[in-house]
Structure 1
Amino acid sequence: MKKIGFIGYGLRSETMMKAFTGAGLPLAPAAVADPRLETLQPQLARDGRFADTRYYADAEEMLDREALDAVFIGTRCGLHARYAALVMERGLPLFLEKPVCIDEAQYARLLAAPPAQRGRVMVSFPLHVTCIVQEMKRLVDSGALGDVVSVQAVNNVPYGGVYYHSWYRDAALTGGLFLQKSTHDIDYITHILGKRPVSVAALTSKMYFKGNKPAGLHCPDCPEYRTCPESSFVVEHRRKEEPSGELCCFARDTGNEDVGAALFTCEDGTLISYHQTFLVKNDAGRRGARFIGTRASAEFDFYTAQLRVDYYDERHTAVHQFHYPEGLVHFGGDEALARGFAEMLEGAPSPLGLEHGLASAAACLAARRAAQTHREETIEYGF
């Protein structure tokens, strides 16, 4: 049984712990470091998997005192790089949540890690390892599409309220929505293409989640609590969904754009267009990409689980329907991540080493700069 230490045990750590258990993997939570111990420890005490877990308020103390086989970092985004550097300095295998960093200084700190240690990291990019992405990768590598010259990617997020109702609205904690969302998409797109972009132009806009409600307003304190289409009351009792927070998303301090677009250029001229929105609902959700080649075009959507190939020289279209394991998060990608992490602990190479996280972060940091400066930005990788 491999002993895992968790730095930050929030929703993402809990989700991956379920994935470890669901995959039947021999991983045990030996220690948890989290400043919320007073509320967290009684909750986890009811879970038999945590019967022998030791708790710490300070992550460095946990790392100094525990004999761990690996560490899982599931803190808020702005702390990922700091704790990842501490873990790598100790030479421990690491499961690192995305984004791996939220600014250039944090990027430089992670880039300074020895290359051998970068390969002992599993970056949490579950879309990368889904069956539908792997099939698209197979198609591109087989030459069936010819030379891929353009990618058109979209992410219309049907649960976008989380980025306006809760702490995610604070870009100082998250790095902004390119790092929050497109970090996944740029990773799987470059994985499929086998090439990465060298420059980017980008724009963002705030069209819906904006307004003049008082800063700091919470939904229950608003006179429109029972009528506002985005209030926690309407979300829970009319839309029958789990509220993602109670901060007013139409207040002056809402934060975050709700529309963003980026145009990436690869060294060989291949163009990658990416568009993300955060205000759609229910079946309007879309996430996927169309790969346009010289012999055929292929596109897939995670939500419909369909991959379609249109061949140019034949009157032929092939549609592949995928079936994700029921009840799993990220279209089955989380359990694939869990298995890959367990295999890494047994000596196998990481399928998603730190350089995957750094490459995606470099592209997203450049997109953020481009949106701020309104000019094309060079993407600097450093490796």
Structure 2
Amino acid sequence: MLRIGIVGCGLQAATIAGYLGIYGDEYEVVAVADYDFENARARMAQKKVRIADSCRFFHDAGKFIESVPKLDGIIIGTFCTFHTEVACQLEVLGVPLYIEKPVAISFEQVRRLYAAFRHSRVPLEVSLPMRLCPLTQRARKMMADGLVGPVRQVVGFEDTQGDVYFATWFRDAEKTGGMFLQKAVHDIDYMFYLAGGRPVEVCGMRAKVYYRGDKPYDLTCEHCSDAGTCPEGPMRTFREKGLAESVPDAAERLSWIFRGDEKTSGKHYCVRSKDIAIEDIGECIVRMDTGTHVAHSQNFIANFHACRRGARFCGDNATLEIDFHRSHLTLYSHRSGSVEHYDVDPGKLSHYGGDRELVADFLETMKTGKRARTDLIEGDGIMSTLTCLGARESADTSKFIAVSL
């Protein structure tokens, strides 16, 4: 029986904890540190986490460390602000750790984390599922077989709707570090993994151009005088987008966080609030030590069929396009002109099937000590966070930033 601890029982931490039994392993969560016991219990119930009858709850990581029973592994799912601090605190317990991304939200934090784990015997697996998902692994094999040849340029993209980021806690830049660290960190990681090499320097741009306004930070649609005309308001959500049963239903769903059909105590706030500090468009370009250029663009304005996520890898022999929304690979030969299509089944679990591989690695680490493929140090799990910190710094200073610890 694997004995699991959780520090910061966010939705992703609960998701991973709930997956620990997918390979038939016996486990139970025996200790949880979270400032909100009620929400922690609700998330674990939602994700069908196996909780020990004797599970102990603590209000903070300090009390958890002082009193925690013997554990086989710990999942860290706090707000991003505390990822580094908590990981460094837990290192003294000597048990395998699993940490949500980004591992840090400042250069000071990422260097502190690196120093703490560089020579540590404690494995620290980073939640970077896109690198391990079936689609990326199939692309990796095609590249290893020489179908693409040396990769010279990578152009990645994610266009997605931004309501969840601009209406919930993600809007707080002090908790998230901005959207390079929240979203691009995944894409940068799998693009580095497929392209090969290590990043040398990065430049970036970011701005908030769509989710702008002068509304109070804590305003909800239910109490807004512009609810009938706002592009993101209940009238248009119901009448134009068809995403609710009525205008009152739309107003309620835009104002509160739901788990399925159950309304929770969490709120959705106005996406046009004046004090939202995160960006809704951003780009970065990375120079690799191989000479390869890796570029990534993201926006949180697109909606419906305009949404997409993927990248094109241009090599000497062919260009390989990866499409995560369709779970599809397209190989364009530069030699014969042929075009080949590959559909790859992602399975039923989250993050395009990558989470099942993360869980497999964490289970193996807890049983044998073998480090995960996305380990902070041995698996370069730190590199995409470091690069995204550089992209943010570049965007704010208009300078190229060295990707260096």
Which position in structure 1 is the counterpart of 2:382? 358
Tell me the TM-score normalized by structure 2. Answer: 0.88
Which position in structure 1 is the counterpart of 2:335? 313
CA distance in 2, matches of 1:340, 1:226: 50
Q: Retained in 2: the 8 A contact 1:99–1:180?
A: yes
User: CA shift at 1:22, angstroms?
Assistant: 3.4
In the alignment, structure 2 segments of 5+ residues that lack a partner are 245-249, 258-266
Q: Deviations over 1:160-188 (max 9, x none)?
A: 21111011111111111111111111111
Which position in structure 2 is the counterpart of 1:83? 86
CA distance in 2, matches of 1:210, 1:228: 12
Which position in structure 2 is the counterpart of 1:60? 62
CA distance in 2, matches of 1:190, 1:118: 26
CA distance in 2, matches of 1:48, 1:213: 39
Which position in structure 1 is the counterpart of 2:221? 219
Which position in structure 2 is the counterpart of 1:303? 325
CA distance in 2, matches of 1:284, 1:334: 26
Which position in structure 1 is the counterpart of 2:261? none
1:239 correspondence with 2:243: yes
Which position in structure 2 is the counterpart of 1:274? 296
Q: Retained in 1: the 8 A contact 2:211–2:271?
A: yes
Q: Residues 45, 137 of structure 1: CA spacing in aligned structure 2 closer, same or farther, 3 A cutoff?
A: closer
CA distance in 2, matches of 1:132, 1:48: 28
Which position in structure 1 is the counterpart of 2:351? 330
Structural mapping, 1:1-383, within 5 Å = 1-41=1-41, 49-52=50-53, 53-65=55-67, 66-117=69-120, 120-158=123-161, 160-225=162-227, 227-231=229-233, 238-240=242-244, 245-326=267-348, 328-347=349-368, 348-355=370-377, 356-380=380-404, 382=405
CA distance in 1, matches of 2:49, 2:270: 38
AA of the residue aligned to 1:220: E
User: CA shift at 1:85, angstroms?
Assistant: 0.5
Cα-Cα RMSD: 2.2
Name whichever of 281-290 and 235-244 sits farther off. Answer: 235-244
SS for the counterpart of 1:208 is coil
Q: Retained in 2: the 8 A contact 1:202–1:262?
A: yes
Q: Retained in 1: the 8 A contact 2:9–2:43?
A: no
Q: Deviations over 1:337-372 (max 9, x none)?
A: 111110111222211111333211110111001000
Q: Deviations over 1:128-148 (max 9, x none)?
A: 110110111112222221211
SS for the counterpart of 1:15 is helix
Q: Retained in 1: the 8 A contact 2:206–2:395?
A: yes
CA distance in 2, matches of 1:10, 1:128: 22
Name whichever of 115-124 and 75-84 sits farther off. Answer: 115-124
User: CA shift at 1:59, angstroms?
Assistant: 1.6
Q: Deviations over 1:286-341 (max 9, x none)?
A: 11111000111101110011101011111311100012223x21111111211111
Q: Retained in 2: the 8 A contact 1:33–1:59?
A: yes
Q: Retained in 2: the 8 A contact 1:179–1:364?
A: yes
User: CA shift at 1:84, angstroms?
Assistant: 0.5
Q: Residues 34, 301 of structure 1: CA spacing in aligned structure 2 closer, same or farther, 3 A cutoff?
A: same
Q: Retained in 1: the 8 A contact 2:104–2:110?
A: yes
CA distance in 2, matches of 1:44, 1:310: 45
Q: Residues 230, 294 of structure 1: CA spacing in aligned structure 2 closer, same or farther, 3 A cutoff?
A: same
User: CA shift at 1:64, angstroms?
Assistant: 2.4
AA of the residue aligned to 2:393: R
Q: Retained in 2: the 8 A contact 1:98–1:357?
A: no
CA distance in 2, matches of 1:270, 1:225: 48
CA distance in 2, matches of 1:43, 1:192: 34
Tell me the TM-score normalized by structure 1. Answer: 0.92
In the alignment, structure 1 segments of 5+ residues that lack a partner are none
Q: Retained in 2: the 8 A contact 1:78–1:101?
A: yes
Q: Residues 140, 232 of structure 1: CA spacing in aligned structure 2 closer, same or farther, 3 A cutoff?
A: farther
Q: Retained in 2: the 8 A contact 1:41–1:55?
A: no
CA distance in 2, matches of 1:216, 1:42: 24
Name whichever of 335-344 and 61-70 sits farther off. Answer: 61-70
CA distance in 2, matches of 1:364, 1:100: 11
SS for the counterpart of 1:354 is coil
User: CA shift at 1:236, angstroms?
Assistant: 8.2
User: CA shift at 1:23, angstroms?
Assistant: 3.7
CA distance in 2, matches of 1:51, 1:320: 44
Q: Retained in 2: the 8 A contact 1:152–1:273?
A: yes
Name whichever of 30-39 and 75-84 sits farther off. Answer: 30-39
CA distance in 1, matches of 2:196, 2:70: 38
Name whichever of 240-249 and 268-277 sits farther off. Answer: 240-249
Q: Residues 247, 310 of structure 1: CA spacing in aligned structure 2 closer, same or farther, 3 A cutoff?
A: same
